[in-house]
Amino acid sequence: MLNYFFHSQLALGIAECAASGLLALAVLLLARNRAPGLLKELPLAELRGIVQIVAVGAILAFMLRGPQWTSLFVLTAMMLAAATIVCKRARQIPHAFALALTSICIGAGLILAIMIVLGVIPLKITMLVPVGSMIIANTMNTQSLFLDRLRAEVTSHVGEIESSLALGATTDTALLFYLRSALRASLIPSIDNIRSLGIVWIPGIMAGMVLSGASPLFAALYQFVVLATIFSAAALTCFVSSHLVTRRLFSAHDQLLLCA
Amino acid sequence: MPSPVSRSLLGDVHFELERGEVLGVVGPSGSGKSTLLRLLNRLDEPTSGAVHLQGVDTRMLAPRELRRRIGMVMQRAYLFPGTVAENVAFGPKQWGRNLSESEIEALLAQVDLAGFASRDALTLSGGEAQRVAITRALANEPEVLLLDEPTSALDENTRRSVEVLLESLIRQRHLTCVWVTHSLEQARTMANKILSISSGRVTAYGSTAEVLRA
């Protein structure tokens, strides 16, 4: 219906954005009694999201005409932004920004580098930036879930953790059960994404590749590659994070710093 | 104490204990009794002052070694998920010592929980759980036992039975104890010495008879 009113691609795009944004607002408006806070948050989040994604689109359009290595700057900026967002979720954890950035750089950076060396992700801006951003965004989400869950586990089990310490356990042993629980909870959505691939959802990359004329079979295989890569990066980020976080939750004298 | 609020939680506390003595620490809620215990096994760090264990400044000991030698039983049992036997064996396992089934059974028998080894620790009653927590602390063979109101979460009958049990274990093992309680009656029954604290300051210290007579 919208293309009846809007004829240029840009005008149609803006109209579609407005329609989808208003639809999200309308849904929250219907459920305003159940989620009053979200109704206030959503307009700002939508505005922020649209500005950010349009800015990225403009940068990509500019970069496509420049050298390939500029994509590294974009990916670095994305990692910094991701670490900042994770840090906000994990405020109670001392030095959360350094923890988040190190974990994302190692997790997302290493897995991206391996896939580039293997030739799975071509060293082209048009591939590297979108695929890299998906990987970084997922490491961000998974790490936020992990640190948030870990904080909740630790603050609600201070007694058990201090009982372990009081019995002579190392900080690693005292925290192990809660680290495992947080790791599992944070990685379940990524595993479910892989498990439900094709049955519950057909992700964007496959849809895009098919629309641009690639063989559906190749597009399907490549989609699996992307999801498996995303999982590897997210899991590695959380593993690194789980190693780094123990030092930050305890003092040098094995005293728990994070309390309820 | 490291705290976002810059105020002293505990100050000017001085006491000495001989082996086998029981110090009852009494005072109102929030007076600093539990903080005192946490400083003794270094779950918290003092801003000043020192704790000596057999003449050695505890800051010279690795925290894990210190905590093996100074056991602690908290208000709640805080048992770990798993069996009773796994809970009892936890402390020694940290030192690479695996308790045998018979050793675990013998320890449990001391607290009247013979046959409980394979039970799920998280399904025990309050009194049973606290007995397992006591056994778990004693499995490390500590020289000093810190008791942070170990009976305050128990009903009257269970409280009395745990008191009797602790009294006999302390005597048998010749344990040095610091027993935090809000009950003067409990302190009178269990302790040789009493340290009374109010708002983080010592209001009385001496033998049980002296302090309670004053």
Asked if B67 lies within 8 A of A165 by C-beta distance, the reply is yes
Residue A220 shares a structural domain with residue A165: yes
Residue A85 shares a structural domain with residue A140: yes
Residue A91 distance to chain B (closest CA, Å): 15
Does residue A147 sit within a domain? yes
Residue A21 shares a structural domain with residue A88: no
Residues of A with CB under 8 A from a CB of B: 159-160, 162-170, 173, 177, 251, 253-256
Which residue among A163, A168, A254 sits closest to B74, beta carbon to beta carbon?
Answer: A163
Residue A130 shares a structural domain with residue A48: no
Tokens 């990987």 identify what position?
A135
Residues of B with CB under 8 A from a CB of A: 2, 41-45, 63-65, 67-68, 71-72, 74, 76, 78, 80-81, 90-91, 94-95, 133, 136-137, 140
pLDDT over 70 percentage in chain B = 96
Residue A88 shares a structural domain with residue A206: yes
- Cα–Cα–Cα angle for A190, A193, A199, nearest 5°? 170
Residue A53 shares a structural domain with residue A142: no
Residue A22 shares a structural domain with residue A148: no
- Return d(Cα B203, Cα B214) in angstroms, integer: 11
Question: Could you tell me if A231 and A65 are in contact, meaning their C-beta atoms sit under 8 angstroms apart?
Answer: no
Chain segment B13-62, per-residue pLDDT in tens: 889 999 999 999 999 988 899 999 999 999 998 888 889 998 899 999 99
Chain B residues touching residue A166 (CB < 8 angstroms): 41, 43, 67, 71-72, 74, 137
Phi, psi of B180, deg, nearest 5: -85, 130
Task: Enumerate residues 6+ apart whose C-beta is below 8 A from A82.
Answer: A100, A104, A136, A137, A139, A140
Q: What does chain B come to in residues?
A: 214
Residue A220 shares a structural domain with residue A158: yes
Chain B residues touching residue A170 (CB < 8 angstroms): 64, 94
Spans in chain A with pLDDT lower than 50: none
Chain B residues touching residue A256 (CB < 8 angstroms): 43
Chain segment B96-124, per-residue pLDDT in tens: 999 999 999 999 998 989 999 999 999 99
Which residue among B44, B68, B76 sits closest to A159, beta carbon to beta carbon?
Answer: B76
Q: Is the pLDDT of residue B177 over 80?
A: yes
Choose one of A47, A65, A83: the last residue of a domain.
A65
Residue A61 shares a structural domain with residue A72: no
> What is the domain extent for residue A132?
68-249
Hey, CA dihedral for A217, A219, A222, A228, is it positive or negative? negative
Q: Is the pLDDT of residue B209 over 70?
A: yes
Residue B66 distance to chain A (closest CA, Å): 8
Residue A192 identity (one-letter amino acid): D
Q: How far is CA B203 from CA B11, B27, B198, in A?
A: 11, 9, 6
Does residue A208 sit within a domain? yes
pLDDT given at position A65: 77
pLDDT given at position A56: 78
Structure tokens at B36: 């005192």
Give the least confident one: A89-98, A144-153, B68-77, B144-153: A89-98
Asked if A255 lies within 8 A of B43 by C-beta distance, the reply is yes
Asked if B78 lies within 8 A of A159 by C-beta distance, the reply is yes
Greatest Cα pair distance, chain A, in angstroms, is 73
pLDDT given at position A202: 67
Domains in chain B with CATH codes = 22-79+142-213 (3.40.50.300)
Residue A47 shares a structural domain with residue A91: no
Residue B2's pLDDT band (boundaries 50, 70, 90)? very low
Residue B72 distance to chain A (closest CA, Å): 6
Residues pairing with B155 in the sheet: none
* Helix pair A125-156, A204-211: axis angle to 10 deg: 170
pLDDT given at position A163: 96
Residue A128 shares a structural domain with residue A244: yes
Does residue A36 sit within a domain? yes
pLDDT given at position A201: 66
Choose one of A65, A80, A96: the last residue of a domain.
A65
Chain segment B181-193, per-residue pLDDT in tens: 988 888 998 899 9
Does residue A40 sit within a domain? yes
Asked if A167 lies within 8 A of B140 by C-beta distance, the reply is yes
Phi, psi of B179, deg, nearest 5: -115, 110
Question: Could you tell me if A79 and A136 are in contact, meaning their C-beta atoms sit under 8 angstroms apart?
Answer: yes
Question: Could you tell me if B121 and A160 are in contact, meaning their C-beta atoms sit under 8 angstroms apart?
Answer: no
Structure tokens at A134: 């998906």
Instruction: Enter the DSSP assignment of B83.
Output: B
Residue A173 distance to chain B (closest CA, Å): 9
Instruction: Enter the DSSP assignment of B121.
Output: G
Phi, psi of B202, deg, nearest 5: -75, 125
Does residue A156 sit within a domain? yes
Does residue A255 sit within a domain? no
Which residue among B42, B44, B91 sits closest to A167, beta carbon to beta carbon?
Answer: B91
* Gap between the terminal Cα atoms of chain B: 31
pLDDT given at position A59: 79
Q: Where are the beta strands (DSSP E) in chain B?
A: 22-26, 52-53, 56-57, 70-73, 144-148, 176-180, 193-198, 201-207
Residue A179 distance to chain B (closest CA, Å): 15
Does residue A260 sit within a domain? no
pLDDT given at position A140: 94
* Helix pair B101-110, B126-138: axis angle to 10 deg: 120
- Name the residue in chain A with its Cα closest to that of B145: A166
**What is the three-class DSSP state of A240?**
helix
Question: Could you tell me if A234 and A187 are in contact, meaning their C-beta atoms sit under 8 angstroms apart?
Answer: yes
Asked if A166 lies within 8 A of B43 by C-beta distance, the reply is yes
Question: How many structural domains comprise chain A?
Answer: 2
Does residue A219 sit within a domain? yes
pLDDT given at position B3: 46
Q: Answer yes or no: pTM beyond 0.95.
A: no
Choose one of A65, A88, A110: the last residue of a domain.
A65
Which residue among B41, B45, B80 sits closest to A166, beta carbon to beta carbon?
Answer: B41
Mutation for B interface: A153, A160, A162, A163, most B CBs within 10 A: A163
ipTM: 0.91
Residue A100 shares a structural domain with residue A224: yes
Chain segment A165-178, per-residue pLDDT in tens: 999 999 999 999 99
Phi, psi of A65, deg, nearest 5: -95, -5
